[in-house]
């Protein structure tokens, strides 16, 4: 059963790749979706880095206050 599933997934990927390779509309849709996904990932990473920087600064401030 698992072998049949894996075979179906592989055939689906090959079929999808052939459709995208031969269709301008599908190719442009894939490129557009990739660009949107990369933009969202960049925004999420920027937010996480900002939060990490903010939490690091607040931790340093509390350490300085406790040392005084």
What are the tens digits of pLDDT across the range 9-49? 999 999 988 988 888 888 898 899 999 999 999 999 999 98
pLDDT over 70 at 59, yes or no: no
pLDDT over 60 at 60, yes or no: no
In the chain, where are the structural domains located? 2-67
Residue 36's pLDDT is what? 96
Axis-axis angle for helices 2-22, 24-67 (nearest 10): 110
Confidence of residue 6 (pLDDT cuts 50, 70, 90): very high
Residue 21's pLDDT is what? 86
Q: How far is CA 25 from the centre of its chain?
A: 23
Within 13 Å, how many C-alpha atoms sit on residue 52's CB side? 6
- Give, in degrees to the nearest 5, the angle at Cα 34 between 22 and 17: 30
pTM for the structure as a whole: 0.55
């Amino acid at each position: 059963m698992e072998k049949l599933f894996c075979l179906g997934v592989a055939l689906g990927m090959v079929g999808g790749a052939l459709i995208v390779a031969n269709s301008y509309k599908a190719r442009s849709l894939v490129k557009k979706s990739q660009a949107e996904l990369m933009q969202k990932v960049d925004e999420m990473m920027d937010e996480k880095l900002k939060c990490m920087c903010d939490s690091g600064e607040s931790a340093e401030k509390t350490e300085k206050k406790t040392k005084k």
